[in-house]
């Protein structure tokens, strides 16, 4: 049996779109994904405004890498007038963040990058917090401090909104 054809063009499908189960070629999938993201940005309660600064919370993982690439591509194509920057957090966990921060630095392209660290912002690292608290589960502390670090970093950069793999929220100098 021949491979399925893309639902939108005559090329062979290279994937089934997870959300719709439509067979799509790579080109049609990327075009469709970008168009949906563009429409979602414009339909938001606060669509992008010229002159706004948006920080992408860049962890070094695939979600933030795709988000940074997508926003840069949409800005290039649609000219929202945004200034995009990358914002990363170093929690100060030995052997945890080094590789992912390296990935952010290698993949950032032309986007400016600010790395804020728990040690610089709060005067302690997560390694120190773990040592002082004992026990084994420090995820709650780390998550709260990471969010605070992103907000402080956003203020340092004059950011209007912070985009994460989970969504876009106001931070820094304004927003909802």
- Asked if residues 90 and 116 have their Cβ atoms less than 8 Å apart, the reply is yes
Give the pLDDT mean for 7-35: 94
pLDDT of residue 25 exceeding 90, the answer is yes
**With the CA atoms of 44, 47, 52 and 54 taken in that order, what torsion angle do they form, in degrees rounded to the nearest 10?**
30
For the stretch 67-95, what's the b/e string if a residue is b when 16 or more beta carbons lie within 10 angstroms of its beta carbon?
A: bbebbbebbeeeebebbbbbbbbbbbbee
pTM tops 0.75, yes or no = yes
Q: Fill in the DSSP letter of residue 160.
A: S
Residues facing 117 on adjacent strands? 90
Tens digits of residue pLDDT in 84-137 = 999 999 999 888 888 889 999 998 889 999 999 999 999 999 999 888 887 777
Give the pLDDT mean for 170-175: 45
Per-residue confidence (pLDDT) for residue 156, from 0 to 100: 93
Give the pLDDT mean for 24-37: 95
Per-residue confidence (pLDDT) for residue 172, from 0 to 100: 46
Helical packing angle, 139-157 and 126-133, nearest 10°: 150
What whole-number distance in Å separates Cα of residue 23 and Cα of residue 15?
6
Which one, of 62, 79, 57, lies nearest residue 172 by Cα?
Answer: 57
Helices marked H in the chain — which ranges? Answer: 26-43, 62-78, 98-107, 118-122, 126-133, 139-157
- Asked if residues 126 and 91 have their Cβ atoms less than 8 Å apart, the reply is yes
What whole-number distance in Å separates Cα of residue 80 and Cα of residue 55?
15
pLDDT of residue 167 exceeding 80, the answer is no
Beta 161-164 vs 167-170: how paired, if at all?
antiparallel
Q: Which two tokens stand for residue 120?
A: 């610089």
pLDDT of residue 138 exceeding 90, the answer is no
Residues facing 57 on adjacent strands? 87
Choose the weakest-confidence range: 25-39, 71-85, 120-134: 120-134
Per-residue confidence (pLDDT) for residue 173, from 0 to 100: 42
Residues facing 54 on adjacent strands? 84, 161
């Amino acid at each position: 049996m021949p491979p399925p054809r893309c639902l939108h063009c005559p090329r062979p499908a290279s994937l089934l779109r997870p959300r719709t189960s439509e067979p799509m070629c790579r080109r049609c999938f990327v075009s469709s994904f970008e168009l949906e993201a563009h429409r979602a940005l414009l339909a938001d309660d606060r669509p992008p405004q010229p002159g706004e600064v948006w920080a992408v919370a860049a962890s070094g993982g695939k979600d933030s890498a795709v988000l940074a690439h997508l926003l840069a591509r949409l800005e290039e194509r649609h000219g929202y007038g945004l200034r995009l920057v990358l914002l990363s957090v170093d929690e100060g966990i030995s052997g945890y963040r080094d590789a992912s921060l390296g990935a952010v630095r290698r993949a950032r392209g032309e986007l400016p990058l600010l790395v804020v660290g728990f040690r610089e912002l709060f005067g302690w690292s997560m390694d120190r917090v773990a040592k002082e608290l004992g026990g084994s589960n420090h995820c709650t502390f780390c998550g709260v401090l990471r969010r605070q670090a992103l907000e402080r970093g956003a203020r340092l950069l004059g950011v209007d909104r912070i985009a994460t793999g989970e969504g876009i929220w106001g931070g820094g100098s304004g927003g909802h």
